[in-house]
Structure 1
Amino acid sequence: MMKRASVAAILLLATGCGYRTKFDLPPHIQTFSVNTFRNKTLERNLDFEFTEALIHEILAKTSLRVARPGEADLEIDGEIEGFQRYLLRAKRYGEKFEIRNLLSVNVEMRDCRHNVPFFHGSRIVERTEFSLNLGETPREARDELVRELARRVVSLAFERWPARVAEGKPSGG
């Protein structure tokens, strides 16, 4: 009984403070498709990894289901514009110590049912920093960066759609 009361209290507090686990979307948008993002960088497989992370994030944060291209209510397309790695701090003798990664994408989302833009995001950027001394690897840092950028894109695209609909325009980032 105590567990039920605790769970109920947590749910009440979470819903009362505006926290949402899923975004509410227009009722006519129930499916989506994501074309593999074009990779304009020299980083191998970044296009596949970002596309997969974006699909995973949309499934986690919305009630949308995946559909085939041409059959979806919402179609998503884009390109990975840039990936940069910067040395922030180095130890003596030029040994790498702390590094910053930057990843940027351009995203287009189209409402296929009404044939109108749903979201346009130009140069959406995310960054992560990692330290080689703490045992972090460049690969782990890149994976985290891809996941964080997918979260950012989903948040930018879906969190304000009711306001965009009321204004009669798509959103931009």
Structure 2
Amino acid sequence: MKAGVALVLVAFSACGYHLAGTGPAIPADAHTISIHLFHNHTRERGLQVHLRRAIEEEFRRRGALRVVPEGEGDLELTGDIRRLASVPVAFSATDEAVQYQSTMTIGMRLVERASGRTVNETPVLQEAQDF
């Protein structure tokens, strides 16, 4: 779980995450966003909770959209966590792993709640972090 949480935080804050993918810019009349729990396809229990918290915190930090409970936002962010993998990338003189790299793959969709229009769709977002 430690690797997953670290990766979430890096993927959505330290790397300067921004909405990228297909679709126009954020509508000018959108002021709030609801972040849904992403569907977790990994075996890492609770990862979706950590991801949602990290995304919410990033929106709060940037201040462009106010985070509100599910179903109340002008915009709604949904998605799924498709993969989380950790592999050793550095070894000691005795061949023990001393550094790992975690890679998370997610897909997400931002929808304007009132109209149902897709504002942004990122089918595949992958981020890696060494720890």
RMSD (Å), alpha carbons: 1.9
Q: Distance in 1 between matches of 2:29 and 2:56?
A: 19
More strand by share: 2
Look up the match of 2:83: 82
Q: Say whether the 8 Å CA contact 2:59–2:67 is kept in structure 1.
A: no
Pairwise CA distance, 1:25: 4.3
- Deviation of 1:103 after TM superposition, in Å, equals 0.8
Give secondary structure in 2 for the equivalent of 1:47: helix
Q: Is the 8 A contact 1:28 1:113 kept in 2?
A: no
Structure with max Cα Rg: 1
Alpha-carbon distance, 1:70 to partner = 2.5
TM-score by length of 1: 0.57
1:122 matched residue in structure 2? 123
In the alignment, structure 1 residue 28 sits paired with structure 2 residue 32: no
In structure 1, runs of 5+ residues without a counterpart are 1-22, 131-173
State the AA in 2 paired with 1:82.
Answer: R
2:54 aligned counterpart, secondary structure: helix
Separation in structure 1 between the aligned mates of residue 72 and residue 102 of structure 2, nearest angstrom: 36
Identical-residue share of aligned pairs (%): 22
Cα distance in 1 for residues equivalent to 2:103 and 2:29: 35
Give ranges in structure 2 of 5+ residues lacking alignment.
1-18, 20-24
| Corresponding residue for residue 47 of structure 1 | 48
Deviations 1:68-111, CA, capped at 9 Å, x for gaps: 33321101111111100011122243311221110111101101
Q: 2:103 matched to which residue of 1?
A: 102
Determine the C-alpha separation between the residues in 1 that align with 2:48 and 2:129. Answer: 18
Bigger mean CA deviation after superposition, 56-65 or 101-110: 56-65
> By percentage of residues, which structure has more helix?
1
Structure number with the bigger relative contact order (C-alpha 8 A, sep ≥ 6) is 2
